[in-house]
Amino acid sequence: MRFVIIGAGAVGGVLGAHLFHGGEDVVLVDPAEHIETIRRQGLHLKGRYGDFVVHIPAVRDIAEVTPQAEDILCLAVKQYHTAEALPQLRRVYDAGTPLFCFQNTVENEEMALQHFQRVYGVVVRMGAKFVTPGEVSHLGGNSLTIGRYPGGIDETVETVATHLRNGGFQVHLHPEIVGVKWYKLFLNLSNSIHAIFGLSSAESPNDPECRKLRADLLEESLAVVKAAGIPLHHVEGEPPIETLIQQLRQDDFPVREVPADPAERPYPSMWQDLYWQRGKTEVQALNGKIAALGRRVQVPTPINDLLVRLVEEMVSKGEKPGKYTIAQFRDMLSSAT
């Protein structure tokens, strides 16, 4: 079995480094300059789960890959690159090739089914960070939940799970991966909060006002999916959304340790998109998805609406994370409602 990982940034880089380090056959595919650095000096992974360099095969175009019978395609690009990546993959691989979506949002798998017959969803729970070309950081969490899309567990899922465990990952199988993907979307709704206020994932739990805003955001979003009849299946080791809302509202919420070195703090992908000024984020596929669904079922979503507007304004102006305070956000929310 060979893992062909499309997208060698934070998630794809960490995934590929651990698998290759664990003895698996891997090739990275990414058009970025990142690949040229990996070719010259290897991929450096550092963080909680090791500090090592792997000299991993890497190419800049999927057309450079010669397909093998047991290849597993691993899509690890941002959601906004999925539509472009899928037809490129089909020009090289036949429709029966297994494709695993190591991505946020709930739209990638549906898009993949238009090109591939065997599609699998993966819920990624790990703090991955692109540091610089040739270097990625794994700052915490190594949990993967996988299942056949839209539902079921098959032999491919079980085999891939075994190989992922060889790479050091904690792997859980789930027969209803759609509900788990929706649960993960709920966890990712706060990515926009971290981006707007400039907070790391370690800092935000220690801020009572940030916790309250996150709880309000989840409560608003939960009303939408309940009205739409969409089930949520919580990730192994994580609480149901209703319980998480209660926990976030508690005064005695456990304090998180914040690394003294900012480089060691985990930042969500949307924060990283703004910081690196990539010109795009997944805010429409996350908060925008809830807002659009809310309009369809006639449930108001003022918090999600404002988050989408502010993130998109920051992207259009090339602004870095941390432009606003929570107090400013609350004032704008009051004015909007």
Other CB atoms within a 10 A radius of the CB of residue 33 amount to 11
CATH 1.10.1040.10 residue ranges of the chain are 182-336
Mean residue pLDDT across the chain = 96
Convert the pLDDT of each residue in 94-110 to its tens digit: 999 999 999 999 999 99
Alpha helix stretches (DSSP H) within 237-301: 241-249, 269-275, 287-297
Convert the pLDDT of each residue in 140-149 to its tens digit: 899 999 999 9
What pLDDT does 159 receive? 98
Fold of 182-336: N-(1-d-carboxylethyl)-l-norvaline Dehydrogenase; domain 2 (1.10.1040)
pLDDT at 37 over 90: yes
What pLDDT does 337 receive? 77
CATH 3.40.50.720 residue ranges of the chain are 2-175
What is the pTM for the complete model shown? 0.94
Convert the pLDDT of each residue in 235-258 to its tens digit: 888 999 999 999 999 988 888 889
The two tokens of residue 90 are 């089909």
Q: pLDDT band for 264, please (50, 70, 90 cuts).
A: confident
Percent of the chain predicted with pLDDT > 70: 100
Per the listing, tokens 């650095």 go with 37
The two tokens of residue 215 are 């709880």
Convert the pLDDT of each residue in 307-322 to its tens digit: 999 999 999 999 999 9
Domain 2-175 of CATH type 3.30.1360.120? no
- Can you give the length of the chain in residues? 337
User: Of 184, 24, 181, which Cα lies nearest the Cα of 109?
Assistant: 181
> At 105, which amino acid appears?
T
Q: pLDDT band for 336, please (50, 70, 90 cuts).
A: confident
